[in-house]
Amino acid sequence: MENKLFVYNTISRTKEAFEPINPPLVGMYVCGPTVYGDAHLGHARPAITFDLVFRYLQHLGYKVRYVRNITDVGHLENDADEGEDKIAKKARLEQLEPMEVVQYFTDRYHINMNQLNVLSPSIEPRASGHIIEQIEIVKKIIEKGYAYETNGSVYFDVVKYDSSHHYGKLSGRILEDLLSNTRALDGQDEKRNAADFALWKKAEPEHIMRWPSPWSDGFPGWHMECSAMSCKYLGEHFDIHGGGMDLLFPHHESEIAQSNIANDKEPCKYWLHNNMITINGQKMGKSLGNFITLNEFFAGSHSSLEKAFSPMTIRFFMLQTHYRSTLDFSNEALIASEKGLKRLMLAMEILDKLKPSEVSTTDISQLSNKCYEAMNDDFNSPQVLANLFDTVRFINGVNDNDETITADDLQKLKVIYTTFVIDLLGLRNETNTDQIEIIDSLMTMILNTRNLAKINRDFAVSDKIRADLNKIGIAVKDNKDGSTWSFGI
Amino acid sequence: MENKLFVYNTISRTKEAFEPINPPLVGMYVCGPTVYGDAHLGHARPAITFDLVFRYLQHLGYKVRYVRNITDVGHLENDADEGEDKIAKKARLEQLEPMEVVQYFTDRYHINMNQLNVLSPSIEPRASGHIIEQIEIVKKIIEKGYAYETNGSVYFDVVKYDSSHHYGKLSGRILEDLLSNTRALDGQDEKRNAADFALWKKAEPEHIMRWPSPWSDGFPGWHMECSAMSCKYLGEHFDIHGGGMDLLFPHHESEIAQSNIANDKEPCKYWLHNNMITINGQKMGKSLGNFITLNEFFAGSHSSLEKAFSPMTIRFFMLQTHYRSTLDFSNEALIASEKGLKRLMLAMEILDKLKPSEVSTTDISQLSNKCYEAMNDDFNSPQVLANLFDTVRFINGVNDNDETITADDLQKLKVIYTTFVIDLLGLRNETNTDQIEIIDSLMTMILNTRNLAKINRDFAVSDKIRADLNKIGIAVKDNKDGSTWSFGI
Choose the weakest-confidence range: A291-295, A467-471, B166-170, B382-386.
A467-471
Alpha-carbon distance of A201 to B154, in angstroms, equals 31
- Out of B97, B130, B350, the one facing A233 most closely (by C-beta) is B97
Q: Residue B132: its chain A contacts at CB < 8 A?
A: 131-132, 211-212
Alpha-carbon distance of A229 to A67, in angstroms, equals 8
In the prediction, which pLDDT does B80 show? 40
Alpha-carbon distance of A112 to A116, in angstroms, equals 6
In the prediction, which pLDDT does A207 show? 79
pLDDT in tens, A389-414: 999 999 999 999 999 999 999 999 99
The question of ipTM being above 0.95 is answered as no
Query: Which amino acid, residue A115?
Result: Q
Interchain pair B436, A439: CB under 8 A: no
In the prediction, which pLDDT does A285 show? 65
In the prediction, which pLDDT does B74 show? 53
Q: Contact at 8 Å (CB) between B68 and B50?
A: yes
CA distance B170 to chain A (A): 30
Confidence of residue B488 (pLDDT cuts 50, 70, 90): low
Give the best residue of B441, B443, B447, B458 to mutate against chain A (max A CB count within 10 A).
B441
Instruction: Give the burial string for A260-272 (b: 16+ CB within 10 Å, else e).
Output: bbbbeebbbbbbb
Q: Residue B211: its chain A contacts at CB < 8 A?
A: 132
Interchain pair B436, A438: CB under 8 A: no
Alpha-carbon distance of B221 to B227, in angstroms, equals 11
In the prediction, which pLDDT does B73 show? 83
Query: Which amino acid, residue A361?
Result: T
Confidence of residue B282 (pLDDT cuts 50, 70, 90): confident
Structural domains present in chain A: 11-274 (3.40.50.620), 282-429 (1.10.730), 434-487 (no CATH)
Confidence of residue B432 (pLDDT cuts 50, 70, 90): low
Confidence of residue A84 (pLDDT cuts 50, 70, 90): low
> Residue A30 pLDDT > 50, yes or no?
yes
pLDDT in tens, A240-251: 999 999 999 999
> Residue B295 pLDDT > 80, yes or no?
yes
Interchain pair B438, A353: CB under 8 A: no
Q: What is the DSSP letter of B478?
A: E
Residues 122-161 of B with CB under 8 A from A: 122-126, 128-132, 136
CA nearest B448: which of A380, A295, A464?
A464
Q: Residue B97: its chain A contacts at CB < 8 A?
A: 65, 123, 233
Average pLDDT over residues B47-72: 97
- Out of B435, B472, B484, the one facing A353 most closely (by C-beta) is B484
CA nearest B323: which of B276, B283, B359, B357?
B276
Instruction: Give the burial string for A147-157 (b: 16+ CB within 10 Å, else e).
Output: bbbbebbbbbb
> Residue A74 pLDDT > 60, yes or no?
no
> Residue A77 pLDDT > 60, yes or no?
no
Confidence of residue B208 (pLDDT cuts 50, 70, 90): confident
Residues 185-224 of B with CB under 8 A from A: 211-212
Confidence of residue A468 (pLDDT cuts 50, 70, 90): confident
Interchain pair B65, A100: CB under 8 A: yes
Average pLDDT over residues A103-122: 95
CA distance A183 to chain B (A): 36
Query: Which amino acid, residue B56?
Result: Y
A280 by Cβ neighbours in 10 Å (0-12 / 13-18 / 19+) ranks as: exposed
pLDDT in tens, B236-252: 999 999 999 999 999 99
In the prediction, which pLDDT does B92 show? 45
In the prediction, which pLDDT does A78 show? 37
* Distant-in-sequence, close-in-space partners of B445: CB < 8 Å, separation ≥ 6: A446, A465, A468, A469
> Residue A290 pLDDT > 90, yes or no?
no
For residues A83 and B65, the model is more confident at B65
Interchain pair A438, B438: CB under 8 A: no
In the prediction, which pLDDT does A81 show? 47
Q: Residue B432: its chain A contacts at CB < 8 A?
A: 435-436
Q: Contact at 8 Å (CB) between A415 and A368?
A: no
pLDDT in tens, B140-186: 999 999 999 999 999 999 999 999 999 999 999 998 888 876 655 55
For residues B82 and B142, the model is more confident at B142
Question: Which residue in B has a C-alpha nearest to residue A452's C-alpha?
Answer: B461
Q: Where are the beta strands (DSSP E) in A10-62?
A: 14-17, 25-30
Q: How many CB atoms lie within 10 A of CB B239?
A: 25
pLDDT in tens, B313-331: 999 999 999 999 999 989 9
Choose the weakest-confidence range: A299-313, B68-82, B286-300.
B68-82
> Residue A415 pLDDT > 60, yes or no?
yes
Average pLDDT over residues A260-289: 88
Q: Residue B449: its chain A contacts at CB < 8 A?
A: 449
Q: A197-202 and A153-156 as β-strands: parallel, antiparallel, unpaired?
A: antiparallel
pLDDT in tens, B15-39: 999 999 999 999 999 999 999 889 9
**How far does Cα A44 stand from its chain's mean position?**
5
Interchain pair A103, B97: CB under 8 A: no
In the prediction, which pLDDT does A303 show? 84
Q: What percent of chain A has pLDDT over 70?
A: 91
Confidence of residue B1 (pLDDT cuts 50, 70, 90): very low
Give SS3 for B225: helix
Interchain pair B131, A132: CB under 8 A: yes
Interchain pair A472, B441: CB under 8 A: yes
Check CB contact of B338 with chain A, cutoff 8 Å: no
Query: Which amino acid, residue A70?
Result: I
Q: Contact at 8 Å (CB) between A122 and A58?
A: no
Q: How many CB atoms lie within 10 A of CB A160?
A: 18
Average pLDDT over residues A226-243: 95
CA distance B116 to chain A (A): 16
CA distance A307 to chain B (A): 18
Q: What is the DSSP letter of B484?
A: E
Give SS3 for A330: coil
Confidence of residue A185 (pLDDT cuts 50, 70, 90): low
CA distance A457 to chain B (A): 17
Alpha-carbon distance of B310 to A375, in angstroms, equals 41
* Gyration radius from chain A CA atoms: 28
Dihedral sign for Cα atoms in the order A7, A9, A15, A20: negative
Average pLDDT over residues A296-308: 87
Backbone φ and ψ of A89, nearest 5° = -65, -50
The pTM assigned to this predicted structure is: 0.85
Residues 14-33 of B with CB under 8 A from A: none
Interchain pair A438, B124: CB under 8 A: no
In the prediction, which pLDDT does B130 show? 97
Alpha-carbon distance of A413 to A10, in angstroms, equals 36
Confidence of residue B391 (pLDDT cuts 50, 70, 90): very high
List the beta bridge partners of residue A293: A40
Check CB contact of A431 with chain B, cutoff 8 Å: yes
Confidence of residue A76 (pLDDT cuts 50, 70, 90): very low
Give, rounded to a whole angstrom, the gap between the first and last alpha carbons of chain B: 56
Choose the weakest-confidence range: A15-24, A33-42, A332-341, A468-477.
A468-477
Chain mean pLDDT for chain B: 89
Measure the CA angle with vertex B320, ends B314 and B326; round to 5°: 90
For residues B414 and A206, the model is more confident at B414
Give SS3 for A478: strand
Check CB contact of B342 with chain A, cutoff 8 Å: yes
> Residue B66 pLDDT > 50, yes or no?
yes
Check CB contact of B433 with chain A, cutoff 8 Å: no
Q: Residue B123: its chain A contacts at CB < 8 A?
A: 97, 99-100, 102-103
Residues 436-475 of A with CB under 8 A from B: 436-439, 441-443, 445-446, 449, 465, 468-469, 471-474
Can you say whether residue B377 is alpha, beta or left, with left for phi > 0 and alpha for psi between -120 and 50 degrees?
beta
In the prediction, which pLDDT does B76 show? 44
Chain mean pLDDT for chain A: 89
Confidence of residue A432 (pLDDT cuts 50, 70, 90): low
* Distant-in-sequence, close-in-space partners of A277: CB < 8 Å, separation ≥ 6: A41, A42, A45, A283, A284, A326, A327, A328, A329
CA distance A122 to chain B (A): 6
**Proportion of chain A in helix, strand, coil states, percent, rounded to 5:** 50, 15, 35
> Residue A186 pLDDT > 60, yes or no?
no
Q: B218-220 and B197-202 as β-strands: parallel, antiparallel, unpaired?
A: antiparallel
In the prediction, which pLDDT does B336 show? 96
Check CB contact of A348 with chain B, cutoff 8 Å: no
pLDDT in tens, B360-376: 999 999 999 999 999 99
